[in-house]
Amino acid sequence: MTLKRLSVVLLACLTLSACGGVDPNSPLGQRKAIFKQMLKTGEDLGGMLRGRIPFDGARFAEGAVKLDALSHEPWKHFPEVREEDHSSATDDVWRKQARFQELARSLEAATAELVTISQVQPYKASNLGPAVQKVEDVCSACHKEFRNH
């Protein structure tokens, strides 16, 4: 009897775990993947400026271009109506769409500015640091308004 119960519990756990993932092709899955790439790229850029990663000017400039390209992508994966999947996005994304779009455009402008500044040589932390900080500040502002933490 104990083996039978254990088998039922194990089967139930396996069944539930198979249902728990996010479909990578869903809007939620796609934007989560983009945000993860943005986070990784931004952490690398900040890490170079803060000494956690050795600074490499060419790699920094490539990262700035990558971050700029990524900054235009997640917004198209927010459907007009909130999806039923569990998301970190608050209802305000859909209720305050004008503000949400304003912050999205601010991020795009900040990453474009970072690309421009990352082309100036010789590379100087005094030039690059404020541009990276601006990107981080816009990300933070959007998270504070539109993300469940």
Q: How far apart are CA 133 and CA 12, in angstroms?
A: 47
Residue 143 labelled as part of a binding site: yes
Q: Kindly give, in sequence order, each residue whose CB lies less than 8 Å from that of residue 116, ignoring residues fewer than 6 positions away.
A: none
19 is in an annotated binding site: no
- Asked if residue 142 belongs to a known ligand binding site, the reply is yes
φ, ψ dihedrals at 89, nearest 5° = -75, 135
Grouping H, G, I as helix, E, B as strand and the rest as coil, residue 23 is coil
Instruction: Tell me 22's DSSP state.
Output: P
Binding residues for heme c, by number, are 139, 142-143
Binding site residue list: 139, 142-143
